[in-house]
Amino acid sequence: KENSVSTQKVLNFDTTMVFKVQILAVTSQLKSGASELKGIKDVNYFIENGMYKYTVGEETEYKKIQEVRRKLLDKFPNAFIIAFKGERKLTLKEMQSAIK
């Protein structure tokens, strides 16, 4: 008989909100160290609507991700904050209501 504790673990989806700074969106994947990344290390990406969207940082506190964004603005003046819950990217409205 299956143990209910292990079943609960399997069904326990990640509900923690994680903030990231999106710095770039391009139509094809960039190579590591590409000039478009302007020397920034620890860059991640996700694919949305056929675009490769590059992000920096991964924070659970909004204040901390604001600081990450501030440090990136010299190189990426259009950088902005996005949020995820598990694998799902939140809408701007969802993110704003969660940080109020």
pLDDT in tens, 4-62: 444 444 444 567 889 999 999 999 999 988 999 999 989 999 999 999 999 999 999 99
Q: Count the residues in the chain.
A: 100
Distances, alpha carbon 55 to alpha carbons 11, 52, 62, in Å: 28, 10, 15
Place of tokens 């770039």: 24
Cα separation, 33 vs 5, in Å, equals 44
Query: Comparing C-alpha atoms, which of 6, 8, 22 is closest to residue 83?
Result: 22
- Entry pTM: 0.83
Query: Comparing C-alpha atoms, which of 75, 79, 94 is closest to residue 18?
Result: 94
